[in-house]
Structure 1
Amino acid sequence: MISRILCTAFVLCACISTTILCINFKEQQWYYVISTVFSNVSNNDYIDIDLKTAHISRNVYGISGFIDVKRDIPDDAITIEIQMSRSVSGSNNYVVLPFKYKENILYCWLNNMYRDILMPSFGNCSNALQLGNREFKGPLVKKKFEFNKCLVNVDTLPKYLIPAIYKIEFKSNGLAKIYVQLIVRVYNKVF
């Protein structure tokens, strides 16, 4: 009798624990604060870029600035690569993570990573490309893209990240060598 009660109690506890874990991981287990944004371009005859952190509210920072495409850019004239590193100690000891977007031509990046992760974030704070369900077909036409306190929507990112400082580097090669670096602090959410 006692073993039956204990067994039932154990099963009930296991079900409750599993349900709580499932509920918690439906939501993001982390939040981020942008610490620094650095941008540089080697040849501003084609593209000019100036991105920086912008204070939105207490402990909330976004990205403001512009990317100015000064001439039409053919599909295969620029490649994009993204690398992510992490520092748990808070020092400059960054460990390269396997989260990497291997170097690929611009329109492939626009049709994949940009459309899935960045485009939904920029809809309300910029005039950046909005592709909807259509594929981008080049060239990238002359236009100045303005960003005003943009935050990246994390709904499409992993539900759990280790609390640390992350360095995200966007690099391009081709007509213009562009470098954008974001330093982001990730914290655990407290429920």
Structure 2
Amino acid sequence: MFFTCSFVGILLGVLLINGCRAARKWDYEPISIISETSDDSLISLKVKIVRISRGEFGVSAEVEWNYDTTDETMVSAVVYRSSSGDESDYKLLPWALPNQPFYDYLNTYYKDVIMKNFAPCSNVPQFEDKFEPPWPKKTYKAESCVVNGDGLPEVAPPGFYKIIFNCSGPEQPSWSLVGIFKLTTKIF
């Protein structure tokens, strides 16, 4: 009897400790990803949603980057949320990437989120300290990438999220990605 109670107590303790660690409390399903570019010869974006297994989806992409970035290349992103997914229901959230130079973005959000989530499944540039220009002109590929949530909020209300990412600069192409994702509360 004592052994059974002790085992149950240890098991409950392990489950409690495991449940207390910081981890995302949401699951996601990509609904759509649309890319646009002002000049396909300078940057070509092919992005698609792929089914990995039952209930698990990822993103595959091929980006042909054929232009030089400069200190004037700017990026920004905004996030909207809708409880229904209806276009008229989306409301702007405070989670945003303010308009900033591309190299500042690389040393912050890219390093904290993109590298951590896409390094295992793509050939995106990796660096340890500060990014040293130039950004490599080449073809970048991502295969069945599943976002694990590193660098993203741990808690997010369920619903539909629209993320709009923009990049542009003088005498450079303008391009954007619009992704819609459905978030649900993670059970375990």
- TM superposition score normalised by structure 1: 0.82
The answer as to 2:148 corresponding to 1:153 is: yes
- Give the superposition deviation at 1:184: 0.5
- Alignment equivalent of 2:54, drawn from 44, 51, 58: 58
Residue aligning to 1:94: 90
- Alignment equivalent of 1:115, drawn from 101, 111, 129: 111
Contact kept, 8 Å, 2:81 with 2:160, in 1: the verdict is yes
Q: Does the C-alpha gap of structure 1 residues 104 and 185 become closer, same or farther in structure 2, counting only changes over 3 Å?
A: same
3-state SS in 1 of match to 2:160: strand
Identity of aligned residues (%): 29
- Give the superposition deviation at 1:77: 4.2
3-state SS in 1 of match to 2:121: coil
- Give the superposition deviation at 1:30: 1.1
Contact kept, 8 Å, 2:37 with 2:175, in 1: the verdict is yes
- Give the superposition deviation at 1:44: 2.3
The within-5 A match list for 1:40-189 is 40-71=36-67, 73-92=68-87, 93-131=89-127, 133-174=128-169, 175-189=172-186
Structure 2 gaps of 5+ residues are 1-15
The within-5 A match list for 1:15-26 is 23-24=19-20, 26=22
CA distance in 1, matches of 2:129, 2:152: 22
3-state SS in 1 of match to 2:120: coil
CA distance in 1, matches of 2:142, 2:39: 21
CA distance in 2, matches of 1:187, 1:136: 35
- Give the superposition deviation at 1:21: 11
CA distance in 1, matches of 2:165, 2:96: 10
Name the count of aligned residue pairs: 170
Structure 1 gaps of 5+ residues are 1-19
Residue aligning to 2:35: 39
- Give the superposition deviation at 1:70: 1.3
- Give the superposition deviation at 1:130: 0.9
- TM superposition score normalised by structure 2: 0.83
Contact kept, 8 Å, 1:34 with 1:182, in 2: the verdict is yes
CA distance in 1, matches of 2:180, 2:165: 12
3-state SS in 2 of match to 1:124: helix
3-state SS in 2 of match to 1:121: helix
Larger radius of gyration: 1
3-state SS in 1 of match to 2:187: coil
- Give the superposition deviation at 1:65: 1.7
CA distance in 2, matches of 1:151, 1:190: 18
